[in-house]
Amino acid sequence: MSPRLSGSLLLLSLLAAPLTIVQCGGGSSSPTTPTSAAAVTVRSLSISGTASFTSLSQTVQLAAMATMSDGSSRDVTSTAVWQSTNAGVVSVSASGLVTSVGAGSCEVSATHQGARATTSASVAVRTCTYVLSETRVTFERDGGNRSVTVQSSDGGCSWQAVSNASWVLVTGGTSGTGNGTVSYRVEPHPGGASRQATITVGNQSLSITQTADAPTSSCRYCVSSTEQIVPRAGGSYSFSVRPTASDTQWTAVSNQPWIRIVSGSSGTGSGTVRYTVDANGFSSERSGTISVGGLSGLFERELHVVVQRP
């Protein structure tokens, strides 16, 4: 074999032999294989937002946040699976929107990649009741302006004042929250028979009657209001007196010590009686009257009835 051919074969054998790395200590190591990065997984899940409601059909958006194994956080609200433990209390959409359905409490949960978080949900429906300062009133044919006060059982209770007749216009206090005042105007009567209307405030109604004729002598000491409904806390109230004759003298007298006339205890012609009602410290309803009549006592006195709630 020629020397040139022998050298070529030696070079090829060296190139084909496995490469061995010799360390300083005289040892050797085998070839190494690169390792792949560890997969990032969900370590824990949390829900942010408060699902507490005071009325039905309210909504609130919850959010689901995932803490990952690498320490990062991710918003998984749209990919989590949302559930309510009681759909009769609240419902929850696939995007985490919670809607109040009925009174009660339950839990809302979110699940994502095996991790689960829960939060409480509650619906406390407010019960609202209302008391009007008067429930019946009569207007003469000329109409006029007047107001009624609204007492609410809860400062968070909302209400609307709605008239059922075009000739009774609510001019102020068309809506409110808690206590308030509703102002209204009665248009002049065009003639014919008397007419009736109501203003509804919350679950209460004010009945309005308007006569078509001028006042008759049957009402010698006419009072603008024959009844006043008063809440337990009491308050200040008034009504007007309109005798049939402008020179008629009259007096106003309370039959109860808790109904105190502060002005207008007597007058000549038209006038106004103002009075206060003490707080009711009893558990039952009570009533009294303010009577208006002449000095001679020959004619029947007109009564203004005060009814106070317990």
pLDDT computed for residue 6 by the predictor: 52
Domain boundary among 98, 123, 148: 123
Considering the domain architecture, whether residues 192 and 148 belong to the same structural domain is answered as: yes
Find the domain containing 77 and state its range. Answer: 43-123
pLDDT in tens, 67-112: 998 989 999 999 999 999 999 999 999 999 999 998 899 999 999 9
Considering the domain architecture, whether residues 58 and 86 belong to the same structural domain is answered as: yes
Kindly state whether residue 208 falls inside one of the protein's structural domains: yes
pTM of the model: 0.44
Domain boundary among 181, 199, 214: 214
Give me the mean pLDDT over the 241-263 stretch: 91
CATH number of domain containing 238: 2.60.40.10
pLDDT computed for residue 179 by the predictor: 93
Kindly state whether residue 146 falls inside one of the protein's structural domains: yes
Give me the mean pLDDT over the 210-231 stretch: 79
Residue 119, pLDDT above cutoff 90:
yes
Q: Distance between CA atoms of 47 and 37, rounded to whole angstroms? A: 30
Considering the domain architecture, whether residues 197 and 160 belong to the same structural domain is answered as: yes
Looking at the structure of the chain, the number of domains it has is 3
pLDDT in tens, 33-47: 555 567 889 999 999
Considering the domain architecture, whether residues 107 and 138 belong to the same structural domain is answered as: no
Domain boundary among 165, 190, 214: 214
**58-73 CB burial, b ≥16 within 10 A, e <16:** eebebebbbeeeeeee
Running DSSP on this structure, what letter comes out for residue 39? P
Average per-residue pLDDT for the chain = 86
Cross-sheet strand order for the sheet of 90-92: 59-61, 97-100, 90-92
